[in-house]
Chains A and B, each alone.
Chain A
Amino acid sequence: MYMAVVNKGFKKRDDHGDHHKPLPPGQTEVIQWPVLSYAPTPHIPTDTWSLTIDGEVNKPVTLDWKQFNKLPMTTLLTDIHCVTRWSRLGMKWEGVSLDELIMQAGGLKEDAKFLIATTFEGYTTNLPVQDILNDQAMVALKAHDEPLSPDHGGPARLFVPHLYLWKSAKWIKTLTFTKEDHPGFWEVNGYNNYGDPWLEQRYSDDY
Chain B
Amino acid sequence: MTTISNNQWVEATVIDIATESPEIKTFKLKPTTLLPHVAGQHYELRLTGDDGYQAARLYSAAPVSDDPTVLCLSIQLVPTGEVTPYVHGNLAVGDTVEVRGPFGRFFVWQPDNPAPVLLIGGGSGVIPLVAMLRAHEKSKSTAKMHLIYSARTFDDVIYKDMLLDMANTTITLTSKTPKDWMGESGRINAALLAKILADFPTLPTCYICGMSPFVSAMNELLQSLGIPLSSIKTERFG
Contact = CB atoms under 8 A, between A and B. Distances in A.
Interface of A: 4-13, 16, 26, 28, 32, 34-42, 84-85, 151, 189-190, 203-206
Contact of A85 (B58, B80, B95, B219): B58
* Range, interface on chain B: 35 or more
A12 B52 CA distance: 10
A7 B86 contact: yes
A28 B80 CA distance: 12
Contacts of B55: 10, 12, 26, 28
A98 B139 CA distance: 51
B49 A12 contact: yes
Contacts of A205: 5, 7
28 contacts: A4-B48, A5-B11, A5-B48, A5-B97, A6-B49, A7-B86, A8-B50, A8-B90, A9-B90, A10-B47, A10-B49, A10-B90, A11-B50, A12-B53, A13-B82, A16-B80, A28-B82, A34-B212, A34-B238, A37-B234, A40-B229, A42-B229, A85-B56, A85-B57, A190-B103, A204-B7, A205-B5, A206-B7
Contacts, number: 92
Contacts of A40: 208, 215, 219, 229, 232-234
B229 A7 contact: no
B81 interface: yes
A7 B53 CA distance: 10
B206 to A, nearest CB: 9
Interface in B197-238: 208, 212, 215-216, 219, 229, 232-234, 236-238
A151 B96 CA distance: 38
A9 B106 CA distance: 37
Interface in B60-98: 80-82, 86, 90-91, 95-98
Main secondary structure of the interface of A (DSSP, over half): loop
A7 to B, nearest CB: 4
B37 to A, nearest CB: 14
B98 A11 contact: no
Nearest to B7: A205
A11 B90 CA distance: 12
Nearest to A9: B90
Contacts of B98: 5
B51 interface: yes
